[in-house]
Amino acid sequence: MTQAPVVDSDLVERVAGILRDAAAEHLLPRFSGGGAPARLKSCGGLVTEADNAMQDAIGGALAESYPEVGFLGEEMEPDEHRRALESADCGLWCLDPLDGTSNFAVGIPIFGISVALLVRGAPVLGVVLDPVRDELFTAVRGGGAFLNGEPITVRDTGPLERAVGCIDFKRLSRDVARGLAASQPFHSQRNFGSSVLEWCWLACGRVDFYLHGGQNLWDFAAGSLIAAEAGADVATMDGEPLFEGDILRRSILAVAEGNLRAELAPYLCPDEGPGQR
C-alpha cells in the first residue's frame, strides 16, 4: 500500500516553495493595482480569479509531486470536500488558496495561503504564507512552530483583562457577540479578516486568544497545528478537540494560556445558538 509522504524539513521546504512560486505568479501581480474584481459564491463568500488560479497552480504542483496524496481545496464543491475527506487513504492536502479574499478584493494587504497535510484526519504538517510581509509560518507535528525558520511560541499572557484577542463577532451567535461587546472582559480585540494569519499571529505572540463561531477545515487545518506547536491550547468553543467528529466545520477557541479559556467560558454559552458548533 502506498504511504503518505515522509513529513520532515525537506517536505516543509518543498511545500513552501510551491506556495511562494504560486503567489509570485498568480497572486501578487493581481494585487499590485490595489484590488481585484470579485463575485459572490453560493455560500455567500467572495471569490476572485486569483483564488481559482492559486488553487489550480498549487493543487497541480502537489499532485505532480505527490500523486498518492488526496486533495481538498476551498474552491471545490461541498460534495467534493466530503468525498475528498472520506477517501484520503494516503493522506490529504487541505488548501486555502487565498484566505482574506474580501481584503484582497478591496486592496487591504492582509491575506494568506494555507496548506496542511492531514493523515488519518489530523494535521501532521502546516504551512502558511503571508506573501505581502514575506512571512512563512510552519509546523510539523511534535516539532515546534517556526516563522521564517526561527522558533516561535505563544505569549505569556496573564489574566483576561490584559489579553488582546482576535474575535470574529460576525460568526458568533447574536447573544454571545452582544454579551462580549457589552462586557469587554479583555483588554482589546481585533479582527483582521484572514483566519489563517490570525492563527499564526496567536502562535507568534501578537494576540493572546482566537475566538471564531464557525470555521471551515481549510481555515484551521494548518493554522491550528502551528498554534498548538507554539504552545497554544486549541479546541472548539466548548472544549472539544478540533479533529474529532465532523471536522469540515468547527467553532474555535484557541488561547495562549489555559486560564483564558476558563475566564472566557462564562461569556460564551457554547450550547446557545446554532453558530457555536
Span 150-158, mean pLDDT?
95
- What is the CATH superfamily name and number for domain 9-152? Fructose-1,6-Bisphosphatase, subunit A, domain 1 (3.30.540.10)
Residue intervals of the chain classified under CATH 3.30.540.10 are 9-152
Q: Which amino acid is at 3?
A: Q
Domain at 160-269, CATH class: alpha beta
Percent of the chain with pLDDT over 90: 81
Taking residue 220's Cβ as centre, other Cβ atoms within 10 Å add up to 30
CB-CB contact of 195 with 74 (8 Å): no
Span 233-258, mean pLDDT?
95
Report the alpha-carbon distance of residue 196 to residue 219 in Å, rounded.
6
Res. 34 pLDDT band, cuts 50 70 90: low
Report pLDDT for 96. Answer: 98
Res. 275 pLDDT band, cuts 50 70 90: very low
Span 129-147, mean pLDDT?
98
Least confident window among 166-170, 216-220, 236-240, 269-273: 269-273
Give the CB-side neighbour count of residue 255, counting CA atoms within 13 A.
Answer: 21
Span 173-191, mean pLDDT?
93
Residue intervals of the chain classified under CATH 3.40.190.80 are 160-269
Span 250-276, mean pLDDT?
80
Report pLDDT for 227. Answer: 98
